Amino acid sequence: MSAGKVMLVEDDAALRLATLQTLDLAGYEVEAHDNARDALKRLSPHFSGVIVTDIRMPGMDGLELFARLRALDADLPILLITGHGDVPMAVRALQEGAFDFIAKPFATEQLIASVARAQAVRTRVLADRRLQQRLAPDEVMIGDCDAMQRLRARLADVARTRLDVLIEGEAGVGKRLAARVLHRQSLHMHKAFVAVDAMALGSDPNGLAAALAAAAGGTLLVEGVDALSLPQQAFLAQAMAQRSRPDAQAAPGAADVRLVATACPNLETAVTAGRFRSDLFYQLAAARLAVPPLRDRRDDIGPLFAHFQAEAAAQTGRAKQQLSPGQRQHLLEHEWPGNVRELRNHAFAVALGLVDGNSQNGLATTPERTLAAQVDDYEQTLITQALRACEGQVTRVAEVLGIPRKTLYDKFRKYQIDPILFRSKS
């Protein structure tokens, strides 16, 4: 059974062969290269192993390779092989995120021990990513109408850049989902995605400063950006402008954050009226995307409803409900002023038996169980699923569910859940 994977980069043929044999005898699958450029072409954020690279090499050296890999995936574990004079450089690389460095000449036991620690960390990181993906909501933009096809194509194009983005659309059309899709297609998909509601921030810029720091290296989504106060707009505009000035003192984390903002259509009217700063608007308008309302994409209503029906069935544990003729008519003729959000809520109401099958959209008068009881069941199911996936580790469960540990313990008591029962017996 393989102990893991190693990408070895060493230009010295004799040392490369000796190191490859050492790692191979220790059970590792080794791919060796004599130059950094060839190795870089073979690496991606999905690489499951460890990179071991010399520092001194012709062309691209180990430090440049380290910088390129940090941009590719900051969690890739990189071990640097150094000569005696390279130790200060290696120490600086450690401070910038390198996993370890090994000075020549080194004992084979030292190399194997360091690679084993790095492989354990990498395995844990990738497992956490898979867990987050399993527990995250489905992030697929459903719809085959021309407007949605154009939107998906533009999202993919913009994702490959570092442009800030303004996503416009009516309430409930899926602007936040578009921002999530944009982030997950970007080069920094594994970095933070931080979303803040402008209405909830108050008027103090400190909340924005904290959000920028939390989103370092990733994406900051400001929902309802037109609700920011003018001082907050000024702070955000200044922080974004300073990213191109490395000598300036930008807000913490602002230098490498992509700003994505959502707003209702026609943000220019707020600029004209003096309620929104023109400099911030033009910063955002470099990439401007519009999510169409549901009434303009009626052919997508059926597939969307079917998707939400499947989601509701999975979450509630109930069989998929057949629609009555009146309900199908309602689905096709209703204007859906709440857009996709309203449609999703309707699908869940149907799944929970809150919609009367004999009418178009009336509420059922006698649901089998109260909504509160069914919500409790769903919450309990999510908690136990997370406990099982995290093997009873409460800290990880709290992180996955996005709630404080105290709140999680309160819910353990409420539902009489013992996290110890979910811990691995091995």
Give pLDDT tens digits for 126-151.
Answer: 887 776 655 455 567 888 888 999 99
User: Does 362 fall in a domain?
Assistant: no
Same structural domain, 379 and 243: no
pLDDT at 424: 62
* pLDDT tens-digit map of 148-169: 999 999 998 998 888 999 999 9
In this structure, are 265 and 347 located in the same domain? no
Single out the residue of 245, 234, 249 nearest to residue 280, CA to CA: 234
Give the CATH number of the domain where residue 9 resides: 3.40.50.2300
Looking at the structure, tell me whether residues 226 and 335 fall in a common domain: no
Domain end, chosen from 292, 310, 327, is at 292
pLDDT beyond 70 at 417 = yes
Domain count, the chain: 4
Does residue 325 surpass a pLDDT of 90?
no
CA angle (10, 14, 17) in 5-degree steps? 70
Q: Is residue 389 part of a domain?
A: yes
Question: Do both 340 and 416 map to the same domain?
Answer: no
At 10, is the secondary structure helix, strand, or coil? Answer: coil
% the chain with pLDDT above 90: 30
pLDDT of residue 358: 46
The answer to whether residues 225 and 177 belong to one domain is yes
Kindly state whether residue 203 falls inside one of the protein's structural domains. Answer: yes
More confident residue, 402 or 235: 235
- Which value, to the nearest 10 degrees, does the dihedral of the CA atoms of residues 96, 98, 104, 105 take? 140
pLDDT at res. 250 = 44
Q: Please tell me whether residues 299 and 288 are part of one structural domain.
A: no
Residue 311 lies in a domain: yes
Same domain, 170 and 259: yes
> In CATH, what number is assigned to the domain containing residue 413?
1.10.10
Please indicate, yes or no, whether residues 174 and 210 belong to a single structural domain of this protein: yes
pLDDT of residue 366: 40
Same domain (yes/no): 287, 164: yes
- Residues 62, 117: one domain? yes
pLDDT tens per residue, range 334-358: 889 999 989 988 888 888 877 654 4
How does pLDDT run across 16-54, given as a tens digit for each residue?
A: 999 999 999 999 999 999 999 999 888 887 789 999 999
**Last residue of a domain, which of 135, 157, 183?**
135
Average pLDDT taken over every residue of the chain: 83
DSSP-assigned states of every residue in 326-392: HHHHHHHH---TTHHHHHHHHHHHHHTT-B-TTSSSPBPSS-SS-HHHHHHHHHHHHHHHHHHHTTT
Q: Are residues 11 and 58 in the same domain?
A: yes
